[in-house]
């Protein structure tokens, strides 16, 4: 049996996440997904929109995922590889080279990301729609308008 392992935050779950997990799952017989906990994301300097319990439930519900486990620290990867008999560790190619040290324990692959979609892009779009940002834009427009009025 060929077991595949990957990790991610999977915040604001989108089609890119799904396609990556489907492609990883197609590489073997069993796909295990480590989902970063809120505490671990905090240590990484990331703030999620969707809480850990919801994110791992979403990942567990996917047909291509056989098991989802909490990711609590960077160091757990080697232990997870050994514990689950992992053949392939896979990540999106935005991580290329970052996990090459795991090649001592299993094959490491970096798959292409889905073009045009990312959680970062979604967050930026949401920020534009955030009420605080809208108020800042209104204030800036009022200021520009008052400057223009002076020249009329």
Which residues carry out catalysis?
A: 44, 46
Q: What's the full length of the chain, in residues?
A: 152
- The radius of gyration of the chain's CA atoms, rounded to the nearest angstrom, is 20
Distances 22 to 48, 62, 124 between C-alpha atoms, Å: 23, 9, 26
Sheet holding 67-71, edge to edge: 67-71, 30-36, 3-8, 86-92, 107-111
Query: What is the rounded CA–CA span in Å between residue 15 and residue 21?
Result: 10
């Amino acid at each position: 049996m060929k077991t595949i392992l990957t990790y991610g935050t999977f915040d604001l779950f989108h089609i890119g996440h799904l396609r990556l997990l489907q492609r990883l799952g197609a590489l073997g017989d069993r796909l295990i997904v480590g989902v970063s906990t809120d505490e671990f994301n905090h240590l990484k300097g990331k703030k999620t929109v969707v809480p850990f319990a919801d994110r791992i439930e979403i990942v567990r519900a996917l047909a291509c995922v056989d098991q989802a486990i909490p990711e609590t620290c960077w160091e757990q990867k080697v232990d997870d590889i050994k514990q689950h008999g992992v053949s392939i560790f896979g990540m999106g190619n935005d991580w290329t080279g970052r996990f090459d040290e795991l090649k001592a324990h299993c094959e490491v692959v970096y798959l292409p990301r889905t073009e045009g979609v990312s959680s970062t892009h979604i967050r930026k779009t949401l920020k534009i729609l955030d009420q605080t940002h809208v108020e800042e834009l209104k204030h800036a427009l009022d200021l520009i308008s008052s400057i223009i009025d002076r020249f009329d």
